[in-house]
Each structure stands twice: as C-alpha cells, then as structure tokens.
A = this chain, B = another copy of it.
C-alpha cells in the first residue's frame, strides 16, 4: 500500500516504521514540526512536504496522527484525497471526518509509545472503524500485515478503551512515579520495586485483576492502613489518594 503520514509524533513514528518494515511504501511525511518530519521521513525512506497542499492525492491511505484537537483542521485540507483518510486517536469519534473527506476511518493502536523505545507491533491491538465496508476492509488488510490483533471497534467502545487505558497505563505510571518519589526521599532505589512492578503486570495476563488483589485494603488490615496514613500525614495529596484508592479496593470486594 502507498501511505502518506500526517504527523511525526510518537504514534506517527511507530506506525510509519511498522508500515515501512512490512514493505508498505511510505511516500510522504508532513508535520508542522519540520525537524520531526525530516527525521521520520529519513527513517522510512519517504520525503517531507512543505504543506498539505503537496499531499499525494493518489496514495491509498493517509494516516492522520496529530493532536486530537488538530484532526478536524487537518481533515478540512484533505478533501481531494482519493484513498482512505484515517486518524489514530482513541478519544476522537469517526464522524469528525463527516462532510470533509470521502473515504475515512480510524486506525487506533492501543499502546503507549515512546520515541526512544521500540515495541513489537505484532502484539499491539489495532482498533478499526470506517465509514463503509470497503474502507473497513482496506484498513483491515493493512492492519493485519502489522498486528496479530485486529478488532472492529465503534467510536463509543473506543472511547471506553481509551478511558480504561488512562487508568491501566497513565494512572498506573503515576502510581509508579509516586512510589519513586517516596523512595527517593528516603534514599531508597526505585530498582528495588521493579521486580514487584513486573510481577504485578504479569499476573493479570492470566488472571482477572479483581481476583488477584493483594495488600492491606483487601485484607481489611486496618492497623497497617492507619500506620500508612500516619506516614503520609505531611503529604496531603498522597494521603487522599491512599484513602480513596484503599476505599475503592474495599468497596470493589463487595
């Protein structure tokens, strides 16, 4: 497939590289951050273009991987595109393209990307949606060359997936960050809890998380929880998080 890429951030970069590795042709990269566009174009044997007016309208697929609130404005400029235009955002509905382009869809990789870290794209679920079965089939075809997990997911479900990912990824990382902060303040090395973090994540590969909950809250170990709260007294925000999440654990058990 001939693909053009709008955006050069983390998602655009990982997607473009995965497409390139699977022998798709990445023709052009555009980003308002010219340096990022140049770096990505170089990595996938593409060229950069100075403006969306220079977009190759006969490509098969235009992936729009820009900030959520910039997607509509980009779409306005893609009216002449002959292939399928797809955005890659979890929280943006399909209908953002209505009346702006002809064939369109969503190509949402459910993963967290960092520029510095490679990921195995085959393990990343690709959530697809499109305005027609032809567009959907075309998206599915390219998706299946990248990933072993391809799902059709409508806009409402994708919003739920995105929100659940905020809890299971963004909030989880913040829990790591809070732990790191506590450890650093006491001259303890975050590396000491890294095996625990890995095991906690591995445990839910084969288990329902609610059923493998551990810790003082699920044991109703009030003595330990009171001691923890005393330790957090000088950190009101941590204390509030401690109380609220502990209560939520206790309530879930019921």
A contact set with B: CB distance below 8 Å: 68-69, 91, 110-112, 114, 117, 119, 123-125, 127, 149, 151, 153, 156-157, 159-161, 163-183, 186-188, 190, 192-205, 207-210, 212-218, 221, 223-224, 227-228, 231-232, 237-238, 240-242, 244-245, 247-249, 251-252
Contacts and interface: CB of A to CB of B under 8 A. Distances in A.
A161 to B, nearest CB: 6
A174 B177 CA distance: 16
B252 A248 contact: no
A146 to B, nearest CB: 13
A71 to B, nearest CB: 12
Contacts of A168: 175-176, 179, 193, 196-197, 200
8 nearest A-B pairs in the assembled complex, by CB-CB distance: A170-B215, A201-B201, A176-B209, A164-B179, A168-B179, A177-B209, A177-B210, A167-B179
Nearest to A168: B179
B161 A193 contact: yes
A200 B172 contact: yes
B69 A193 contact: no
Nearest to A232: B163
A28 B124 CA distance: 48
B227 A91 contact: yes
Nearest to A160: B186
Contacts of A159: 227, 231
Given A112-B200, A188-B161, A198-B201, A216 B166 contact: yes
18 contacts: A68-B224, A110-B192, A112-B200, A149-B195, A153-B188, A157-B186, A161-B183, A163-B232, A164-B178, A165-B179, A165-B196, A166-B228, A167-B182, A168-B200, A169-B193, A170-B218, A170-B249, A180-B210
Contacts of A149: 192, 195
Contacts of A164: 178-180, 182-183, 188, 193
Nearest to A204: B176
Contacts of A208: 177, 180, 190
A43 to B, nearest CB: 21
Contacts of A166: 215-216, 228, 242
Given A178-B167, A195-B125, A240 B249 contact: no
